Amino acid sequence: MENAEIPDYPTKADLDEFDWDDCSKCSGDGLRDVGCADCQGTGVINSLEGDESDCNTCGGDGTVEEECDECDGTGKIKPSEDEEPTEEQIGDWQSEVEDATTIVDESPV
């Protein structure tokens, strides 16, 4: 009989990135609206002559999109290593363990 190599018990952090939870700070978009620095969020720029015009940076909106700093622009939050695995991960792990520990009941000879 040979040694069986048992796979490590999974954690939620082992999930593929597309299965991670959406970032709550940017709602999964990877971007968030912040106040425009050029017009201080007003959407208007005053010229030296006193004329007002729409801010070119934000288009007069007063906000600009910025990469979310919580998820680094991915829109997803990586689970921590101590989070429990999903039911699917546990099922896959159990199948791998069964495959690794199944004893062949027919002699190959």
Tens digit of each residue's pLDDT, the chain (109 residues): 466 677 777 776 676 666 778 999 999 999 999 999 999 999 999 888 888 899 999 999 999 999 999 998 989 887 777 777 778 878 888 888 887 777 666 666 6
pTM of this prediction exceeds 0.85: no
What is the C-alpha separation between 102 and 61, in angstroms, rounded?
64
Residue 79 CA, chain-centre distance (Å), reads 9
Question: What structural domains does the chain harbor?
Answer: 1-20+80-109 (no CATH), 22-77 (2.10.230)
Convert the pLDDT of each residue in 51-72 to its tens digit: 889 999 999 999 999 999 999 8
